[in-house]
């Protein structure tokens, strides 16, 4: 197994650890950082999420740069990304930090675009590349999750809800990029008998 695939597997292994930290109430107390009061288990979960997000950035770059792209990587990398982000958003809803309706839209878009990607591969044998709005969506997703887990660290002192602001920016780019992907690839839905 090459290094990018090992990073992907490592990211998948981090997901249940991330979940356990948020699912179980640990008697670890709280810590104040950057004006934010953060339960220690949330801080550790946020660090694990950051590490997992960094492996997401690294594995693709290493694979492309060193010509280590594999079928396993094409399958597991986006799956690991979706699993990580969806898990984080579901826990943010359960913690009362993210509105359920926003997370539902994000999850539905992720599933719809994943289905579209499968259709494109089946019809054209090509993997749909991420466009800039999709990359902005991913970046704002990751940042929103981090700031929501860390109770708006560095912005809490001025009472600015940076996590929610990033979440709503993410929602905009989620809808925009999803619509863009479907408009750009609408030919996939045309029957060959037409």
Please report whether residue 192 resides in a domain. no
Residue 128's pLDDT is what? 66
Do 142 and 53 meet the contact criterion of CB atoms below 8 Å apart? yes
Please report whether residue 18 resides in a domain. yes
Distance CA 114, CA 131 (A): 14
Please report whether residue 26 resides in a domain. yes
Across residues 4-26, what is the average pLDDT?
A: 93
Residue 30's pLDDT is what? 93
Please report whether residue 107 resides in a domain. yes
Q: Which of 45-49, 71-75, 76-80, 180-184 has the lowest mean pLDDT?
A: 71-75
Q: Determine the straight-line distance between the first and last CA of the chain, rounded to whole angstroms.
A: 44
Across residues 172-178, what is the average pLDDT?
A: 94
**Cα 148 → chain centroid:** 14
Q: Which of these, 182, 101, 92, 179, lies nearest to 141 by C-alpha position?
A: 92
Banded pLDDT at 192 (limits 50, 70, 90): low
Task: State the chain's mean pLDDT as an integer.
Answer: 90
Q: Which of these, 125, 121, 118, 135, lies nearest to 174 by C-alpha position?
A: 135
Distance CA 94, CA 76 (A): 27
Banded pLDDT at 194 (limits 50, 70, 90): low
Please report whether residue 38 resides in a domain. yes
Please report whether residue 102 resides in a domain. yes
Per-residue pLDDT tens over the stretch 73-131: 878 888 899 999 999 999 999 999 999 999 999 999 999 988 888 888 777 766 666 67
Q: How many domains is the chain partitioned into structurally?
A: 1
Q: What is the CATH number of the domain that holds 60?
A: 1.20.120.1760
Give every CB contact of residue 32 below 8 A, 6+ residues apart in sequence. 38
Across residues 11-26, what is the average pLDDT?
A: 93
Across residues 137-158, what is the average pLDDT?
A: 94
pLDDT of 4 over the 70 cut: yes
Please report whether residue 88 resides in a domain. yes
* Domain limits for position 77: 3-187
Both structure tokens of 101: 């309706």
Banded pLDDT at 72 (limits 50, 70, 90): confident
Please report whether residue 193 resides in a domain. no
């Amino acid at each position: 197994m090459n290094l990018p695939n090992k990073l992907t597997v490592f990211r998948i292994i981090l997901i249940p650890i991330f979940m356990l930290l948020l699912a179980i109430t640990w008697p670890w107390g709280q810590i104040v950082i950057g004006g934010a009061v953060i339960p220690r288990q949330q801080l550790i979960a946020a660090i694990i999420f950051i590490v997992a997000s960094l492996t997401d950035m690294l594995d693709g770059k290493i694979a492309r740069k060193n010509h280590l792209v594999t079928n396993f990587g094409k399958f597991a990398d986006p799956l690991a990304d979706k699993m990580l982000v969806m898990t984080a958003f579901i826990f943010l809803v359960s913690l009362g930090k993210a509105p359920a309706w926003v997370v539902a839209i994000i999850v539905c878009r992720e599933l719809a675009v994943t289905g579209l990607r499968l259709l494109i591969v089946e019809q054209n044998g090509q993997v749909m590349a991420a466009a800039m709005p999709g990359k902005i969506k991913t970046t704002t997703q990751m940042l929103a999750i981090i700031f929501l887990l860390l109770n708006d660290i560095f912005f809490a002192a001025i009472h600015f809800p940076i996590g929610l602001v990033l979440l709503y920016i993410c929602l905009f780019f989620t809808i925009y990029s999803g619509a863009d992907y479907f408009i750009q690839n609408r030919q996939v839905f045309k029957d060959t008998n037409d």
